[in-house]
Amino acid sequence: MFSILKTENNARRGRFTTIHGTVETPAFMNVATAGAIKGGLSSYDLADINCQVELCNTYHLHIRPGDKLVKELGGLHKFMGWSGPILTDSGGFQVFSLAKLRKISEDGVTFNSHVDGKKIFMGPKESMQIQSNLGSTIAMAFDECVSNPSDYDYAKQAADRTFRWLQICKDEMEKLNSKHDVVNKNQMLFGINQGSVYDDLRVEHMQQISKLDLDGYAIGGLAVGESKEEMYRIVSALNPVMPQNKIRYLMGVGTPGNIIECVSRGVDIFDCVMPSRNARHGSLFTKKGIININNAKYEKDNLPIDEKCSCPTCKRHSRAYIRHLFKAKEMLAMRLSVIHNLYFYNMLMIDIREALDKGTFSDFYRENVDILDLRI
């Protein structure tokens, strides 16, 4: 359950307790879509990067290896060899990102599998059943995420549908949790707010879903095409109407600067593919800004990626070596880079929590919010 330890203006320092362990918030969830953090990290690497929670994907695991198989093998935690908290995304985002391969109806969405083209149907009931089979700590409601810009009518339609689906998800989850042979009887459910960039839709939708007394509330459908000013405005508009005593999750966000901005607007947890994906592409985060390790200027650079970083990569390796590994297409390049970037993100959250504990978050904000997103 969630408790707030301290606040500073709208920012919250909290603690989220689950049957798989405690999450100190604000926190970043490390994305492991298909049951692994891309770039070759194993569960035994996670302590080294200060990972508290992993995020896996319902759609991907349903397609491969299949949620029934995962259940048969003892659930996702056992399968992955990770005993800490796992949040499973519902597959709702794939409705959006696989837009070319889908058809939406009131009951759910018909997809073509990106793996073999096979037709797959997923709706709120199916998503809950799959997530129950996976046995994650937290299940996400099945929502419809619209791209921005999106016209008002369509945004409203999608938000309304997301609310109807949420009610189905809640009923289904209660039913599943009461069954005797489920992997995790205590599986939690988070609802997702939609409404594009329209403040009134967002607020109204949040008020609707708040009444359902869920384990947590997420803001979805941001960082999907709108400006960051619009994103901040929506988060600010939602802050007063979100349940105060429930954990708040901003889905898919973002850059270090986005995270600092949204912590200051009352968000507790985040997830984003940016640190891992960008790491695989050579884009690395430092306290002075973002570097591209592939650049020729690092050819003879004997310094670590970030002089102030004490991650396993920075403790041992130089920029020149990591650049070489990228040029030589060695898979170690990605592994070392992903380790660094995720350590950077998890450390950013540790620094944010420490600042909140000490009551110095506004100083931390001022010193970091702009420079961390700079490309240098």
Partner RNA sequence: GGGAGAGUACCCAAGUUGGCCAAAGGGGGCAGACUGUAAAUCUGUUGUCAGUGACUUCAGUGGUUCAAAUCCGCUCUCUCCCA
Please report, as ranges, the residues that interact with RNA according to CB under 7 A.
Answer: 31, 33, 37-38, 55, 57, 60, 89-90, 92-94, 96-98, 100-101, 114, 140, 143, 145, 192, 218, 220-221, 223-224, 228, 251-255, 258, 271-274, 276-278, 280-283, 292, 294-297, 299, 327, 329, 331, 334, 375
CB of 121 to RNA, least distance (A): 17
The least distance separating RNA from the CB of residue 350, rounded to whole angstroms, comes to 20
Residue 248, exposed/middle/buried by CB under 10 A (0-12, 13-18, 19+)? buried
Cα separations (Å) of 330 from 118, 236, 322? Answer: 34, 44, 9
| Tokens describing residue 90 | 């519902």
Closest distance to RNA from the beta carbon of 357 (Å): 26
User: Which spans in the chain are helix H?
Assistant: 58-63, 67-72, 76-80, 92-97, 124-134, 152-177, 199-210, 228-238, 256-263, 274-280, 312-316, 319-327, 331-358, 361-368
Query: At 111, which amino acid appears?
Result: F
Residue 107 among the catalytic residues:
no
Annotated catalytic residue 306:
no
Quick one: 33 or 239, whose CB is closer to RNA?
Answer: 33
Least Cβ distance, residue 372 to RNA (angstroms): 12
Shortest spacing between CB 181 and RNA, in angstroms: 27
Q: Which is nearer to RNA, 175 or 281 (CB)?
A: 281
Structure tokens belonging to residue 325:
């590994």
CA–CA separation, 51 and 314 (whole Å): 17
Provide, rounded to whole angstroms, the least separation between the CB of residue 146 and RNA: 8
Which residue, 124 or 304, has its beta carbon nearer to RNA? 124
Tell me the C-alpha distance between 327 and 11, whole Å. Answer: 42
Determine the 3-state secondary structure of 116 from DSSP. coil
Closer residue to RNA in complex, CB, 11/291 = 291
Name the residue nearer to RNA (CB basis): 185 or 232: 232
Phi, psi for residue 307 in degrees, rounded to 5: -60, -25
Query: If 0-12 CB within 10 Å is exposed, 13-18 middle and 19+ buried, where does residue 257 land?
Result: middle
Indicate the residue among 55 and 347 with the shorter CB distance to RNA: 55
Q: 45, 143, 268, 271: which is the annotated catalytic residue?
A: 271
Selecting among 67, 89, 143, 268, the annotated active-site residue is: 89
Alpha carbon dihedral 100, 103, 109, 114, in 10-degree steps, equals: -30
Number of CB atoms found within 10 A of residue 192's CB: 31
With contact defined as beta carbons under 8 Å apart, do 129 and 66 qualify? no
Catalytic residues: 89, 271
